[in-house]
Amino acid sequence: MSKKLKIGIFGFGVVGQGLYDIIKSQNLNLEIVKFAIKNKDKKRSLPAELFTTNHDELLDNPEINTIVELIDDSDAAYKIAKKALSTGKNVVSANKKMIAAHLEELVSLQQQYGTSLLYEGAVCGSIPIIRNLEEYYDNELLHAITGIFNGSSNYILSKIFNEGIGYDIALKHAQELGFAETDPILDVGGYDPKFKLTIATAHAYGLFIKPEEILNVGIQNLKNEDIQYAKEKNVKIKLVPTARKISSKQIIAFVLPKFVKSDDFLYNVENEYNGVTVQAAFADKQFFFGKGAGGHPTGAAVLSDIAALRYDYKYEYKKYHQKSGLIYTDKVSLEVYLRYEHEYTLEKLNITDISERFARNDYKYVIGTVTLKSLLENNELFQTKDVFIAQTGRIIYSTQSIEAIAQEELLVN
């Protein structure tokens, strides 16, 4: 028997409206009591008495037992979630930045007050990846989780590679459709997929990594020369977050553009769709596909969390509580394509094992290897327009890592 939820919702934007539309069309054991909004003068499609600008009208209302947080402001979202959890209310959130930055504390609050925070809608839209990592893979040894986590940047890249549209025009189209914000840097700069990767890594490996410790390089510096190079090599460029186990005790995580070959699941993930690949010791490779942007896809994920709360569902964070001793490391090398203008860029990054090099007055690139540590230390280089980097997909392990992985494989088999 499900219990009745009385809901207070923060935000009535694209996702909030999408959620309301879905709830309205379903016969569910829940009631929306009130919406908290920022702009009281904006015209709404619902009666005015359903809205308030006073957060405490929801947070201090004893009738409301569930808070749904759907706002853009991560600091305000954190305060809302913290107060709600601390006063006995369960919370559903789609704010990936807030959750990524405060997850360890929020897990502790849930344990302390016996409340539940669910956030399927914060990672990859309609794809139920968090629930799968929590339940299906709870006892799995995961080698890697990777994919396309951002519908906005993927839409832009799809238009570039499939229709020959320039970056600026593709970005404008994404903004007009509501996939990208007026300031799109969170999406195209790789910040949004980094926040999502941080959350997924916590459930996949039980490891809480601070977002600022994870490398994120985006597609905002992509130029026609980079696109032409990729096409000549018969690959597409996708913005790909990756978390990978490189030894029995070490995890790497980063967000980088990647050359994706035609035999990769991600090659045919287009437009606003997301795709997640999970590589596991027992289940082998599995692929999840679904819409990653838009009010209704994210609203459906939020509703799934709300519905789960009717049956007192909680994330158990099993891998975190197992205390496996995993650590996050930057001690690995990646093979990359690097387009640059000044020779000191190669020296600063310490690019080694160069297997391909090209130079003319207006275009220079190399294919070589670079350490993740060096990329993190020189991240400011990738904010300038004259540098673009993409991983080829090849990771160079240390001898110790190879031996440790081989030993782990023996134990599994």
Q: Which residues are annotated as catalytic?
A: 196
Q: Where in the sequence of the chain do the CATH 3.30.360.10 domains occur?
A: 130-292+325-412
pLDDT value of position 44: 83
Helix, strand, or coil (residue 65): coil
Q: Which two tokens mark 226? A: 């980079």
Share of the chain above pLDDT 70, in %: 95
pLDDT digits over 327-370, tens only? 999 999 999 999 999 999 999 999 999 999 999 999 999 999 99
pTM: 0.93
pLDDT band at 408 (very low <50, low <70, confident <90, very high): low
pLDDT category, 413, cuts 50, 70, 90?
A: very low
Cα-flanking dihedrals φ and ψ of residue 335, to 5°? -85, 130
CATH number for 130-292+325-412: choose from 3.40.50.720, 3.30.360.10, 3.30.300.30, 3.90.226.10.
3.30.360.10
pLDDT class of 412 with cuts at 50, 70, 90:
very low
- pLDDT over 90 percentage in the chain: 76
CA atoms within 13 A of residue 93's CA, in its CB half-sphere: 29
CA nearest to 190, candidates 395, 375, 397, 396: 375
Distance CA 361, CA 243 (A): 37
Distance CA 305, CA 313 (A): 8
Which CATH architecture does the domain made up of 5-125+298-316 adopt?
A: 3-Layer(aba) Sandwich (3.40)
Contact 94, 302 (CB under 8 A): yes
With contact defined as beta carbons under 8 Å apart, do 229 and 220 qualify? no
Are the C-beta atoms of residues 81 and 93 closer than 8 Å to each other? yes
Q: Cα separation of 173 and 167, whole Å?
A: 10
Q: How far is CA 347 from the centre of its chain?
A: 32
Q: What is the pLDDT of residues 193-207, one digit of tens each?
A: 999 999 999 999 999
DSSP 213-252: GSEE--STT--HHHHHHHHHTT-EEEEEEEEEEEETTEEE
Percentages of the chain per state (helix, strand, coil), in multiples of 5? 40, 25, 30
CA distance 294 to 127: 13
The band of 399, judged by pLDDT with boundaries at 50, 70 and 90, is low
Residues whose CB is less than 8 angstroms from the CB of residue 335 and which lie 6 or more positions away in sequence, other chains included? 353, 367, 368, 369, 391, 392, 393, 394, 395, 396
CB atoms near residue 183 (< 10 Å): 9
Q: What is the tens place of the pLDDT at every residue in 251-307?
A: 999 999 999 999 999 999 999 999 999 999 888 999 999 987 677 778 888 999 999
What is the rounded distance in angstroms from the CA atom of residue 356 to the CA atom of residue 158? 27
Pick from 190, 281, 205, 288: which is nearest to 243 by CA? Answer: 205
pLDDT(411) > 80: no
| Every domain range in the chain assigned CATH 3.40.50.720 | 5-125+298-316
Cα angle value 27/33/34 (rounded, 5°)? 125
Which of 1-5, 75-79, 110-114, 156-160 shows the lowest mean pLDDT across its residues? 1-5
Average pLDDT of the residues in 13-23: 81
How large is the greatest C-alpha to C-alpha distance in the chain, in angstroms?
A: 71
